[in-house]
Structure 1
Amino acid sequence: MRLLRSGFAPLATGLTALAALLVAAPAAQAADAPLRDLAHAKGRAIGTAVTGSKLTGTYGEIAGREFNWLTPGNAMKWESVEPSRGTFNWAEADRIVEFAEANGQQVRGHTLVWHSQNPGWLTNGTWTPAQLSTLLKDHIDTEMTRYKGRVDAWDVVNEPFNEDGTYRSTIWSNGLGTDYIAQALTWARAADPSAELYINDYNVEGVNAKSTALYNLVRSLKQRGVPIDGVGLQAHLILGQVPSTLQQNIQRFADLGVDVHITELDIRMQLPATEAKLTQQAGDYRAVMDACLAVSRCTGVTVWGFTDSDSWIPDWFEGYGAATPYDENFAPKPAYHAIAASLGGGTTEPPGDGCKATYRVVNQWGGGFTGEVRIDCTGAALRAWTAKWDFGAGQRITQAWNASCTQSGTSVTCSNASYNGTVPDGGSVTFGFNASWSGSNPVPVVTLS
């Protein structure tokens, strides 16, 4: 749960060129189905980290209704389950596993081998390599055996790399050498042969030095025959900073023959939250979901807490928060609706033949412009909408409002926010965006769906 992320063409200021698209648009209704049903229909997981003691009332109801996977946020970490040597406390972890079983959910175990949240008796001890190896093997055996057949996937090794791709200096790498990773995976397979085994890390979402080191490790493990089933990309992201190479990175791991899971997704913003920030956040959530869904071996997405009231972000990043799909009062945010839309939420109705979208450039300057799309309905109505177009001249959206907008290559997709999906007969809705341009800025044709 750690992150640290951490024109030479003549200007046409005030350009008002219009491009209308008179395309029949099917009206879609916002999804009533829970996220877990939408994800199941696509063969994917939609999970959340949870706190076991909170699995009652509204928190428990949402956790059970919306998600088909649960991850214990802290309850399965070494300091939680064995605070004193030989003295175990399984109450919190048991509660989460039992809740999942009662609600037809699967469980992701988190985490067996980590440099952090280890008990003091372990970190303050003086151990020979043989003793340390025995301690680690016994820990893996004990925890995995307890939940054998009940935990479906494990983050066996968590955060083994530094930002530059070198191995992190930890009690494990220092005491056992870097092959502790292979040893841990081998012991884990023996402890529960049916569980999926993952290596999990942060700041490895895009192609960079750290993710390449992880890629090389997984490739080496596969070549050596070491059991490894998947890679976890944590995805503790900052508003507006979804890596452009996310899908490419997921695909290259999949090409190694392993699964990929987005394990700890949250997208933090500087507070206070505003309508524009929440709209951007929704677009970012959708971009992550869409990238995962585009790769067959991306098994799904887990959010690191579904409500802002249970998020770790404010405690770690001063002035930041609002990082999850639900607000502190358990109301779904635009991000929730973006996840649902990515998963195919909504029902289609007969085409709204009288609905059209009109694109215009409101203002343009060297290197950037403000655009606007207006959706008008006459003789038809919409209960949700998505507008799509291609920026064939290299334009890139940098910010959007009143819509959740994502861009992959030249393709732009903008979906309604939670508050403006309905366009009645005779009504209209408008959304806008800022974008960059260079050389030319032709008006695209927009389609509605």
Structure 2
Amino acid sequence: MRTSHLLSARRSLAGLATAAAALLALGAAPSAHAADPPLRDLAAAQGKVIGTAVTGSELTGTYGDITGREFGSLTPGNAMKWGSVEPTRGSFDWAEADQIVAFAQAHHQQVRGHTLVWHSQNPSWLTGGSWTPAQLSSLLQNHISTEVGRYQGKITGWDVVNEPFNEDGTYRSTLWYDGLGADYIASALTWAHAADPAAKLYINDYNVEGVNAKSTALYNLVKSLKARGVPIDGVGLQAHLVLGQVPATLQQNIQRFADLGVDVAITELDVRMQLPADSGKLAQQKADFKAVVGACAAVTRCAGVTVWGFTDSDSWVPSTFPGYGAATPYDESYQPKPAYYGIAEALGGSGGGGGGTAPAGGCSAAYTVTSQWNSGFTGQVRISCTGASLSSWKASWSFGAGQQLTQAWNAGCTQSGAAVTCSNISYNGTVPDGGSVTFGFNANWSGSNPVPAVSVG
């Protein structure tokens, strides 16, 4: 349940692309009404910022379009962590971090830097070394000064220290705490401020959303740092939540930190549920997202909310919590779920549109290229239903660059010219409300491999 787990790497090489299928004739279309503005505009009208964690390589196609349109802030999911930027001592790799910053600048978005000091995702040369306190302090100062200095003026705020506490409010035993003592936190904040005096500096942790022993330890730390004159501008409440378990004291907790004179941000919001999803769970998830965003909206010094990946295809949850998933505002086909509209409503919108096709009840298909080589590729299609179900299915698309199907599994597929049709086989025709089925195929390609739009019928 920790912050900055890897965004799931389900899209490789050619990446994930998706096409929303037409709604099936399972009921009347929703009544027409004016669509809300994008989430970023709704948030801005409330004096807030809505953001998302992203992976740099995915900032193209539909993923990039939604990212640029809907969000006012980006958090690199992994690209700014120590193991990513300095995998070998003294050798830095800024490629993905630079890519995310450039995308944000092109789309007039803020960037939240994540994260400078953490116990996880550190390079082996660092964790496997034998350092004196002076050496360790020097390494940490150099890392912070180098990274923050590189992005001076381009990063709105940094999660400087990540997850310093145990659940009971004691300090977590880490390379930093064990080697430098509790004052590694004050040192890190001081060094970050020196490298970029304009950036807001945060301490970020999980399970601190409500009033409890861990959040009280964080509260006492922030109070102490401010009393000592250490630069600390805010606290990040990660909010990796379980369906139906938004803490009742969330707004109270946000307010007590704000009363210390610091900003508060919800930094990594997702709400996981036991799979399969269904209409009841999705309705509860909408209420949960609305409650969290609403609690932030109600407190002046709550700067905003960042979702930890906006689409279920890019979520860390399934690989970390087996049997759980569907934790984000968009489904795997990039269609907004009820949770999206809960966010919109909490930000003053009507919840009546925007974000893509409204969740009116239907089934859609997501087309994925999972691997690609010189002359061929492997693809996958996932058919998902929300507010509807299927007893049989047929997926159709047209290859636009001469690709030729050679093999399929979990479906019966035929190709005539460019047209491909794949139908269920005896054991996987049923797709329940909130459920999905997946089939795969191999195909040949030459020159280009554009992503087709898939229809379900």
Alignment of 1:32-51 (within 5 A): 32-51=36-55
C-alpha spacing 1:167/1:30, structure 2 compared with 1 (3 Å): farther
C-alpha spacing 1:212/1:140, structure 2 compared with 1 (3 Å): same
Residue 317 (1) aligns with residue 321 (2): yes
What's the CA shift for 1:31? 3.7
Per-residue CA deviation, residues 169-215 of structure 1 (Å, 9 max, x unaligned), is 00000000011000000001000000000000000000000000000
Alpha carbons 2:272, 2:317 under 8 Å: kept: yes
Residue 261 (1) aligns with residue 257 (2): no
- SS of alignment partner, residue 281 of structure 1: helix
User: What is the alpha-carbon distance in structure 1 between the residues aligned to residue 53 and residue 228 of structure 2?
Assistant: 33
User: What is the alpha-carbon distance in structure 1 between the residues aligned to residue 288 and residue 346 of structure 2?
Assistant: 11
Counterpart in the other structure of 2:122 = 118
Alpha carbons 1:72, 1:108 under 8 Å: kept: yes
Alpha carbons 1:31, 1:341 under 8 Å: kept: no
C-alpha spacing 1:247/1:31, structure 2 compared with 1 (3 Å): farther
- Which of residues 176, 181, 185 is equivalent to 1:181? 185
Per-residue CA deviation, residues 259-300 of structure 1 (Å, 9 max, x unaligned), is 000000000000000000000000000000111111000001
What's the CA shift for 1:81? 0.2
Counterpart in the other structure of 2:310 = 306
Counterpart in the other structure of 1:413 = none
Counterpart in the other structure of 1:82 = 86
Counterpart in the other structure of 1:229 = 233
Alignment of 1:27-426 (within 5 A): 29=33, 31-346=35-350
Alpha carbons 2:3, 2:268 under 8 Å: kept: no
What's the CA shift for 1:344? 1.1
What's the CA shift for 1:222? 0.5
User: What is the alpha-carbon distance in structure 2 between the residues aligned to residue 214 and residue 49 of structure 1?
Assistant: 23
Alpha carbons 1:49, 1:70 under 8 Å: kept: yes
What's the CA shift for 1:2? 1.1
What's the CA shift for 1:30? 5.8
- SS of alignment partner, residue 63 of structure 1: helix
Runs of 4+ in 1 over 4 A off after TM superposition: 27-30
TM-score between both structures, scaled by the size of structure 1: 0.72
User: What is the alpha-carbon distance in structure 2 between the residues aligned to residue 82 and residue 2 of structure 1?
Assistant: 22
What's the CA shift for 1:28? 11
- SS of alignment partner, residue 99 of structure 2: helix
Counterpart in the other structure of 2:372 = none
Alpha carbons 2:75, 2:111 under 8 Å: kept: yes
Alpha carbons 1:29, 1:346 under 8 Å: kept: no
C-alpha spacing 1:100/1:3, structure 2 compared with 1 (3 Å): closer
User: What is the alpha-carbon distance in structure 2 between the residues aligned to residue 29 and residue 260 of structure 1?
Assistant: 35
Counterpart in the other structure of 2:2 = 2
Q: Which has the bigger relative contact order, CA under 8 A and spacing at least 6? A: 1
Per-residue CA deviation, residues 367-386 of structure 1 (Å, 9 max, x unaligned), is xxxxxxxxxxxxxxxx79xx
Structure 1 residue identity aligned to 2:342:
A
- SS of alignment partner, residue 161 of structure 1: coil
User: What is the alpha-carbon distance in structure 1 between the residues aligned to residue 348 and residue 117 of structure 2?
Assistant: 36
Aligned-residue sequence identity (percent) comes to 75
Alpha carbons 1:279, 1:334 under 8 Å: kept: yes
What's the CA shift for 1:345? 1.3
In structure 2, runs of 5+ residues without a counterpart are 5-30, 354-360, 362-385, 388-457
User: What is the alpha-carbon distance in structure 2 between the residues aligned to residue 311 and residue 186 of structure 1?
Assistant: 33
Q: What is the RMSD computed on CA atoms of the aligned residues?
A: 2.0
Alpha carbons 1:157, 1:200 under 8 Å: kept: yes
Per-residue CA deviation, residues 412-437 of structure 1 (Å, 9 max, x unaligned), is xxxxxx98xxxxxxxxxxxxxxxxxx
Counterpart in the other structure of 2:431 = none
User: What is the alpha-carbon distance in structure 1 between the residues aligned to residue 350 and residue 177 of structure 2?
Assistant: 49
- SS of alignment partner, residue 205 of structure 1: coil
Counterpart in the other structure of 1:396 = none
- SS of alignment partner, residue 143 of structure 2: helix
C-alpha spacing 1:271/1:30, structure 2 compared with 1 (3 Å): farther
Structure 1 residue identity aligned to 2:141:
K
In structure 1, runs of 5+ residues without a counterpart are 5-26, 348-382, 385-401, 403-417, 420-449
TM-score between both structures, scaled by the size of structure 2: 0.70
What's the CA shift for 1:54? 0.2
Alpha carbons 2:40, 2:72 under 8 Å: kept: yes
Per-residue CA deviation, residues 39-75 of structure 1 (Å, 9 max, x unaligned), is 1111101000000000000000000000000000000
User: What is the alpha-carbon distance in structure 1 between the residues aligned to residue 164 and residue 79 of structure 2?
Assistant: 21
Structure 1 residue identity aligned to 2:221:
L
What's the CA shift for 1:331? 0.3
Structure 2 residue identity aligned to 1:101:
Q
Alpha carbons 2:52, 2:74 under 8 Å: kept: yes
User: What is the alpha-carbon distance in structure 2 between the residues aligned to residue 275 and residue 42 of structure 1?
Assistant: 30
Per-residue CA deviation, residues 343-394 of structure 1 (Å, 9 max, x unaligned), is 11139xxxxxxxxxxxxxxxxxxxxxxxxxxxxxxxxxxx79xxxxxxxxxx
